[in-house]
Structure formats: C-alpha cells, structure tokens
Chain A
Amino acid sequence: MTPPPGSLLAAENLRKTFGPTVALDGAHFSIHPGEVVAVMGPSGSGKSTLLHCLAGIVPPDSGSITYDGRELSGLSDTARSALRRSDFGFVFQFGQLVPELTCVENVALPLRLNGSPRKEAERAALTWMERLEVDDLKGKRPGEVSGGQGQRVAVARALVTGPRVVFADEPTGALDSLNGERVMELLTDAARSTNAAVVLVTHEARVAAYSDREIVVRDGRSRDMERAI
C-alpha cells in the first residue's frame, strides 16, 4: 500500500502482539507536516503502542511505516536511532528529565547527543526555554521545579533539535487544567511555527481540542474520524 499523498509519516495495517495480547490489530495512521493529530481511545486500546511503532521505538510484527518516503523497517537499528535523534522529539507524561542535570542541561541534551558543543547547545536550549517561559529555571534540577514547569522544560527539550515530528504521549496527564492548557498552547504554537507535525496521544477532550483532527483507537484498530465522514 502507498501512504496518503503529502503525508510525512504514515502507517498501514500495523499489527503488534505482546505474547497473547494483541495491542495493534490493523491500525492505520497518517500525518502531514505542521499537522496536529490527536490519538484517542480507551485505556489499553493500543495508543501508546501505536506511537512507539510510529516513532521506530518498537517494531511492529507486520504492516508498514513510511517516514518521508522511507520504509522504517528497511533501516538498520543504528539508522533508526539516528533518525529518532535528528528528526523526532518526544514528550511523555512524566519522568523524562535526567534528575542529575540542570534544566538547561536537560534541554541541551539532545543537541549534545547529536555532537553539538556545550556552549552552542546551551544557547539554543535557552532560546527554547524562553519561548516556553521557563528560562528562569535554567540552573535548577528537575526535582526543584513544579510538574507544570518540568513539563514545559520537557517540551523545550523535545523541540530543541527542530524535529519534524513531535510525539507526545499524555503530555498533560499529570497537570491541572490551567497548566495542561498552557503546555498545550506552547507546544502547538511552537510546533506550528516550525511546521512540525505533532502526534498527540490523549484521553482528554480538552487537550484533543488543540489538534486539527483525531483518530480513535479501539481494540488495536484505528478509525480516522475525518476520512470516515
């Protein structure tokens, strides 16, 4: 099968089992550059598994994933990790910042891993921290900032490499309404300004309302609500 025209990342007929558990049972997905797509559905329906497959973290048992015209399964493990570092950014629900590093070091980390010199990396990191309004936390460690602040630091880190796709799995799951809203505003503003695509897993409708469209995953099968109508 061919991915929908113009899509940056597309998956066809994904299947993934964990032992006897069928996590994905023929899931489809596609996203355009600059698009924010919400992935919704009940707990255990396969949303995170879908995200992990799309990001090349977990290989599906069968089905195809194309990113920018390339088939992900055709890449070596090394090439896939390199792609993740250069083209993808990640935001999760919690526990993603390195506790021993300061906030600015955390944000600079993806650039350092890509070989940038420290000074340059931290300068770029600070620019993103300013955009997410957490630059005043630069010298603090993650244990010394609030959940909402930490989440904004995590968003800055996800965006610092200029990713073409941001994967966010319940990015506001641990936040109250006001902080969750702020994180979503900043994340989607930043993504729009860089034309990055955002894959947003959430079970909260008010969070999904920041997306351009939604797909619903149920029992490992996905339903694209826009195309279905």
Chain B
Amino acid sequence: MAVLFSRPQSLTDTPFRYCPGCHHGLAHRLVAEALDELNLREKAVGIASVGCSVYTNEFFNCDTQQAAHGRAPAVATAVKRARPECFVFTYQGDGDLASIGMAETIHAAARGENISIIFINNACYGMTGGQMAPTTLPEQKTTTSPLGREAAREGNPVDMMKLLDALEGPAYLSRVVLTSPGKQAAAKKSILRAFRAQMKGLGFSLVEILSACPSNWRMTPVEALHYVDEVMAKYYPPGEVRVAKEVLEG
C-alpha cells in the first residue's frame, strides 16, 4: 500500500482542541508539512502565542516555548539570537500579533530578525469568545462590535501586509487562504518560501493566513469557508507582497 495522504511527522498525535471546521488545524498541517519537507523538525523551536492556538506547543512535534500574549516575536528574537543554528517560528493570532503585540511584531520585522511568523487572521478574538480584533472587517459584527464595525465608532481595520510592507526588514511577506486544495498548494509554497528565507539568513518572514472561525462567526464550517473567499479575501487580498530575490535563488 502506498500512503498518499497522512499526518506529517512534525505534528504530534494529540488531537486538536479546535472547534469543528476551524482553520487553525489546516494551518497546523501545512506548517508541519513544510517543516517535514525542509527537514526542520529537529532544529525547530516553535513559539506558541495566546489565543486559540495557545496549545500549539502540544501539537508541533518539536521544541516549543509558549509566550505571553503578544510577545512571541520578542521571545522568538531572543531564541534565534541565543541559538542561531535553530529554526525559529512563531504561530500567532490577529489579536496577539496585531493588537497587544503590535510593537513586538513591527520591531522584529523592522530589525529584520531572522525568524518566521505564521499569522492567523480570523478577524476576531477566537479564544475569548469572538470580540472585535484589529483585523475585524468593516460592518462585521462581533461581541464587542454588536452593531457592526463602523470606522467612526470602532475605528478602521489594520492591514498587516500594508504595514509590514512599509519596512525594510522583511524578506518575505505573503497572504494566503486555505479554502481549497489549490489554494492550500499556494499557501504551502508561501510557507516554504518564508522558511527558506530564514534558512538563508535573509531576515524576517511572515505568512498571513486568512482563517475561518466558524464558532464566533456564527456560521457553519462550510459557510465560514465560503466567507473567507467571498468576503475576507476581498478586503484582504491574498498574494505575495514581498519576495526578496534571494528567497527564490538556489
């Protein structure tokens, strides 16, 4: 028998704790496949953040540290500088990365820290029950924007790709969705490029994954899947934003 599809080595056997249809699981798989393909598992130190993915330390089959809310880029910065031979990645939600940890994110990017960030943008605070995030879309209803986000009241959303693209430090920036096998292939390519950027010592790399949170969006998993493509991806267009040419070489 030839196995065509099975669990990557870089995931433990522990079942995910995510809600049915949550894209965190899809993102985990792609990250783990990328670690497998580049033989990074044994060198990797993954930094978990605070959000629904707080347990990533139980799911990735490599050394891990769990950072305080928002501080993963600072923790990763130090781990990489402490052990340059390690492969260091963080896995962070949008509340974690773009709100409470905005300073850590921007400065790690500006310095061009040689780390890789997987950024799960689900347009809300999943873990705490679906409050508004910096990335919450205009008109999107959350438990703390019950009337729908309105610029005059709740303020405008943050587009991390645009922000980060203003900096010199990043070597690779890309936004992806995981809603179909074809789009997952593109996402995987982005993750591999981000990881290669670090392996080549090119500096900061980040992949933003537009990710469904069916529970807090009050949708079925299938509705949420379509919402990512039809609504979220319209506001936050997927695609590569920054590709240092050395990323593609060799």
Q: Does A pair with B?
A: no
A interface residues, Cβ below 8 angstroms from B: none
